[in-house]
C-alpha cells in the first residue's frame, strides 16, 4: 500500500496544473490542498478493487486521482467558515486560512471539474458505455443525492439529535457515496462492478464516517492532523452523540465483519480489500 500511495502522490502531482502556470495562485492552492498528508484511502480502494477485477494499473491511477480530487474538494469546502469553520487539515492550515476564502471556493470548483476532465480524457475501459458509467458513477456520488446532499443534511442537522436511521441516511451520503464510487470505479476499469463488491463498498463507506466520528472524540488533533473534538463543540449529531463511543465502535466492527462477509466469494483476490476494511475500522488516525 505504501508503494501505491507513492504512485498516487506522483500521479496527482502530474495531473494537477503546474504551480507556475497561470493563474498561479489558484494552481498553487490546488496543489497545496491535494498533495501530501492525506491517507489516500479512496485511491487505495480503487486500486484494490481494480486488482480484484484484473484492471490495468495505469487506468486505475487515473480513476483514483479523479476520486481523490473530488474528496479533496469536499474537504476544502467542508473546512470553510460557512461550513465547519476549521483551521487545520492534513497537518497544515486549511486552504482558506493559508490563501483566502474565495480561493478555497475556487480550489473546490476546479478540483471537481478536473476530476471529470480526467475521467473523460483517458480511455479507462475498452467499452465506451462503461466509460460513461464511470462518469455517471462519480457524478451521482458527488452530487446532491450523494456527498453534497449529505453535507447539506449535516448542516441542517447541526444542533439537533438524530436517530440512528437518520444518521445512517446522512453518513451514507456525505461520506459513503464517494467511498463506494472509489471501489466501483476500480472495478469498472475492468468491466461491470460485481454486486458483492458494491455491498462491500457500502459497508466500508458507512464504517469510514462512523470511525471518523469516534476519532473526533477519542483522538488528538496532533494524530488526526485536523481539529479533534469539534463535533461536540459544534453540536453535530454523530454516531458518538447518538450511541456513545462504545456502541458506535461496536457498530463499526459489525460493518467491518459485514464487509469481510461480502468478499467471501472472491478468495485471495480480495486480500487488499480485506486489509483496507480492517484499516478503515481499526485505524487510529
Ligand atoms: C475526512 O476524510 C473526511 C471524511 C469524509 C470523514 P479522510 O479521513 O479520508 O481525510 P484524508 O484524505 O485522510 O485527509
Ligand atoms: C466531512 O465530514 C465529510 C465530507 C467532507 C464530505 P466531517 O466534517 O466529519 O469531516 P472532518 O472530520 O472535518 O474531516
Ligand atoms: Mg463536516
Ligand atoms: Mg469537518
Ligand atoms: Mg469528522
pLDDT for residue 26? 98
SS (H, E, C) 37-62: CCCCHHHHHHHHHHHHHCCCHHHHHH
The atom of ligand 2 lying closest to the CA of 84 is: 8
In tens, the pLDDT along 234-249 reads 999 999 999 999 999 9
Instruction: Output the nine-digit C-alpha cell for 41.
Output: 484511502
The atom of ligand 1 lying closest to the CA of 90 is: 14
On whether the CB atoms of residues 45 and 273 are closer than 8 A, the answer is yes
Whether residue 39 has its Cβ less than 6 Å from ligand 1: yes
pTM of the complete model: 0.98
CATH of 2-282, one of 1.10.600.10, 1.10.3680.10, 1.10.3720.10, 1.20.1090.10: 1.10.600.10
Burial zone of 38 (CB within 10 Å; 0-12 exposed, 13-18 middle, 19+ buried): buried
In tens, the pLDDT along 29-55 reads 999 999 999 999 999 999 999 999 999
In tens, the pLDDT along 125-156 reads 999 999 999 999 999 999 999 999 999 999 99
Rounded Cα distance between 211 and 256, Å, is 11
Instruction: Output the nine-digit C-alpha cell for 80.
Output: 470553510
Average pLDDT in the 219-234 region?
98
Task: Show Cβ contacts of residue 213 under 8 Å, excluding neighbours closer than 6 positions.
Answer: 231, 238, 239, 240, 248
Whether residue 204 has its Cβ less than 6 Å from ligand 2: no
On whether the CB atoms of residues 219 and 245 are closer than 8 A, the answer is no
Q: DSSP letter for 176, please.
A: I
pLDDT for residue 52? 97
95 CA from centroid of ligand 2 (Å): 15
In tens, the pLDDT along 77-136 reads 999 999 999 999 999 999 999 999 999 999 999 999 999 999 999 999 999 999 999 999
pLDDT for residue 102? 98
Amino acid at each position: 500500500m505504501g508503494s501505491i500511495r507513492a504512485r498516487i502522490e506522483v500521479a496527482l502531482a502530474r495531473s494537477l496544473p503546474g504551480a507556475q502556470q497561470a493563474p498561479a495562485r489558484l494552481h498553487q492552492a490546488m496543489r497545496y490542498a491535494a498533495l501530501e498528508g492525506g491517507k489516500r484511502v479512496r485511491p487505495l480502494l480503487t486500486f484494490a478493487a481494480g486488482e480484484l477485477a484484473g484492471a490495468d494499473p495505469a487506468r486505475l491511477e487515473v480513476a483514483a486521482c479523479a476520486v481523490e480530487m473530488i474528496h479533496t474538494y469536499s474537504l476544502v469546502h467542508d473546512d470553510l467558515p460557512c461550513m465547519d469553520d476549521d483551521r487545520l487539515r492534513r497537518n497544515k492550515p486549511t486552504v482558506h486560512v493559508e490563501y483566502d476564502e474565495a480561493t478555497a471556493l475556487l480550489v473546490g470548483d476546479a478540483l471537481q471539474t478536473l476530476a471529470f476532465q480526467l475521467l473523460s480524457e483517458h480511455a479507462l475501459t475498452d467499452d465506451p458505455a462503461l466509460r460513461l458509467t464511470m462518469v455517471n458513477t462519480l457524478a451521482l456520488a458527488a452530487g446532491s443525492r450523494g456527498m453534497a446532499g449529505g453535507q447539506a443534511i449535516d448542516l441542517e442537522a447541526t444542533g439537533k439529535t438524530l436517530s440512528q436511521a437518520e444518521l445512517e441516511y446522512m453518513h451514507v451520503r456525505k461520506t459513503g457515496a464517494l467511498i463506494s464510487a472509489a471501489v466501483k470505479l476500480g472495478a469498472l476499469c475492468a468491466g461491470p462492478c460485481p454486486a458483492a463488491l458494491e455491498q462491500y463498498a457500502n459497508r466500508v463507506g458507512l464504517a469510514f464516517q462512523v470511525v471518523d466520528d469516534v476519532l473526533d472524540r477519542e483522538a488528538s488533533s496532533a494524530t488526526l492532523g485536523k481539529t479533534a473534538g469539534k463535533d461536540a463543540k459544534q453540536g453535530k449529531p454523530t454516531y458518538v452523540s447518538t450511541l456513545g463511543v462504545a456502541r458506535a465502535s461496536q457498530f463499526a466492527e459489525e460493518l467491518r465483519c459485514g464487509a469481510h462477509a461480502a468478499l467471501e466469494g472472491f478468495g485471495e483476490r480480495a486480500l487488499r480489500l480485506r486489509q483496507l476494511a480492517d484499516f478503515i475500522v481499526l485505524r487510529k488516525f
